[in-house]
Amino acid sequence: MSSPYPAGELLAELCLNKFDTLPKTGKPTNKEWTILAGVVQYDENRKESKVVALGAGTKCIGRSKLCSGGLILNDSHAEVLARRALLRYFYAELRKAIENKLSIFQWNAEKLFFTLKRELSFHFISTQTPCGDACIEDESCDEESIETPNKKPKLVCDELVQKDFGKTLLNDSEVVYTGAKLIGEHSDLLQQFVGVVRTKPGRGDRTLSMSCSDKLSRWNVLGVQGALLDTLLDKPIYFETLTFCCSRSNEKSIRRAI
């Protein structure tokens, strides 16, 4: 059965093209690399797609460097930054709706909530498998044994990207296999346990930020809108598809983790 949404290759290309149009400040040089994540909004009625959020980065602040005043961003992984940018987009669109301007949201006077227009959907793209459980392959787990929720986003996991900008994209040989530390009492915090929650990063000072695998899993259950927006909307907003630049061998691990 064909998907009603654009192919993962097209969504990835849109994000890469948008990244190319941004100023050079903060981008990796020819000797550097980073991870890029983005969110594409698709209008089913108009058959139009547009990038509404982008994030790039691999940094995360350790516990010892946290700011009690909230002036330092704790988690700067690309996936998390893209989602934060998406929330800013949602807030801006809600303001437009309040001011009776054209917006992705509509006020429902009967339910006293804002509703997302039915024809719109959101699609997540990342140039690497998210850190944490999604990076760990379990050879004993076959596809028939993976439990998945009744409503799950379409997962596209393949070598999607044809372009290269300063080694921003990683080859399969460069994939990080954990990128996070186990929670709990373990002799080795980097052990390859399956189905266990983790914090970032894999090396250095432990952080209080959950791995991207765990965060994507949470968004897949509770929605991406967060607690504040949840009080204003009639229902959660989910990513309808997830697209990752990775090998096919990672697909089972991603499905299990997310």
Give the residue numbers annotated as catalytic, written as ranges: 79
- Contact in structure between 150 and 2 (CB atoms under 8 Å): no
Distance CA 9, CA 127 (A): 11
Cα torsion 131, 137, 143, 146: sign: negative
**Among 224, 222, 257, 218, CA closest to 239:** 224
Distance CA 83, CA 94 (A): 16
Distance CA 30, CA 77 (A): 20
Q: Would you state the structure tokens that stand for residue 214, as one six-digit string?
A: 């765990």
Distances (CA, A) of 178 to 30, 123, 197, 202: 25, 24, 11, 7
Distance CA 133, CA 214 (A): 8
For residue 140, give the 3-state DSSP assignment.
Answer: coil
Q: Would you state the structure tokens that stand for residue 4, as one six-digit string?
A: 């009603």
Facing residues of 125 across strands?
A: 38, 243
**Among 87, 124, 93, 107, CA closest to 230:** 87
